[in-house]
Chains A and B, each alone.
Chain A
């Protein structure tokens, strides 16, 4: 990204923590960073969901695999993001995959775990009733189990999304981290406090907005769970 570094915005030593002038002169940069941040987060979480579904269904079908799948996902989770991103950089270079792949791996664990928790939480009576009504396995899954597991699944997606937004800042290390790239630049610039603080606040704001949107979506999609959610 051809980002303008610190420029005539700052003359002389003062290095303010926040400056509306900096913000107003860098709206393009901020917008570009926001677009990158949102796109990379959405791609990572989407990839995690796409991979998590078959894995969770497999773990449920073949119970012996549940332990190993969760164990592998948890092990990957303990590896620092900086290590994963840095190790993919020599392979993929400055391409989105360098950050999307590690972030999707982190989101994977949360989503798989919540999928399993949600599906295991479906009352056996309901499953029995559906079976008694002659539901096929597929219809049982999509019509009965998935809707009932939805609150837990969405809670997982929510946690994964918020964490991914924060983690993406680490992508700034390889110059692909949305607001993280600005944080990195500001840190290296001689006069960069305003850039660091503005980018950090934008990132926090984005995470909170995403959280709020997903809570709203959750309420909207699962109106029957509202009373339960409110009490928990």
Chain B
């Protein structure tokens, strides 16, 4: 406590970050970044595979909205850290990357479910009627009309989920799955504050860069789809009646 003076910390962190030995090997920064992104990628992929089909289907039918809203609010109340630790304590999963992937996938479900549902159910009914009038069957309606129109908002949900997952993957360090959180964890345990702050800087940078990249990509996509969808000029992800939480980072 009080052992930290700004100048000293900054030079220490810069020294730590520029030390070539911290950029190679299994404990090197590149390896930790890969670990971090692989865990996050699997989690988002699993969540998408689980969440998209039912949300698209329910959105197409326009039914089950309150059920999804309830899942959303219970999902928000579940502490991710508790889920990771509980999974790590099971005999089937155990400590390591699997526990983190599963917990994060669970955690990414609500934003994807809710946003996809809202996106699908908000497609202009007139457009759907017109498509039906042209003789489209349900499958064609979903594929050719509803999905393209719902895409910007669906993508916003996936973005929200991804950014959250990448931030939360930091916990991986606490259950032996590495990730960039490892530097924070070791730095804290060994009172090596240079390493701790270097870890904080790296994690924050990774999260902010990813968030910016997604925002950029979303703007590009929305601009292309916006002309068709007739909305989406708004840069922010559209929110359901009650602002969707970007829940626990």
Residues of A within 8 A of B (CB): 75, 77-84, 86-87, 89-93, 106, 109-110, 113-114, 117, 152, 155-156, 159, 162-163, 165-167, 169-170, 172-174, 180, 183-184, 186-187, 192-193, 196-197, 199-200, 203-204, 207-208, 211, 232
Contacts and interface: CB of A to CB of B under 8 A. Distances in A.
Interface of B: 1-4, 73-74, 76-83, 85-86, 88-89, 163, 167-168, 170-171, 174-175, 181, 184, 187-188, 193, 196-197, 199-200, 203-204, 207-208, 211, 241-243, 245-249
B143 to A, nearest CB: 30
A87 B193 CA distance: 8
A60 B193 CA distance: 40
Contacts of B208: 75, 78-79
A166 B208 CA distance: 22
Contacts of B184: 82-83, 86
Contacts, number: 149
A166 B200 contact: no
A211 B242 CA distance: 14
B243 A166 contact: no
A106 B204 CA distance: 14
B77 A80 contact: no
A180 B74 CA distance: 18
B113 to A, nearest CB: 17
Given A83-B199, A204-B78, A187 B246 contact: no
Contacts of B247: 163, 166
Contacts of B174: 173, 187
A159 B244 CA distance: 8
Contacts of B88: 187
B243 A155 contact: yes
Contacts of B197: 87
B190 to A, nearest CB: 12
B18 to A, nearest CB: 20
A81 B73 contact: no
Given A86-B187, A187-B174, A207-B77, 17 more contacts: A77-B246, A79-B207, A80-B204, A80-B249, A82-B170, A83-B184, A90-B4, A110-B243, A162-B77, A165-B77, A165-B79, A166-B77, A173-B188, A187-B88, A196-B89, A199-B82, A204-B82
Contact of A200 (B73, B82, B196, B200): B82
Contact of A117 (B168, B207, B243): B243
A77 B249 contact: yes
Contact of A90 (B78, B79, B163, B196): B196
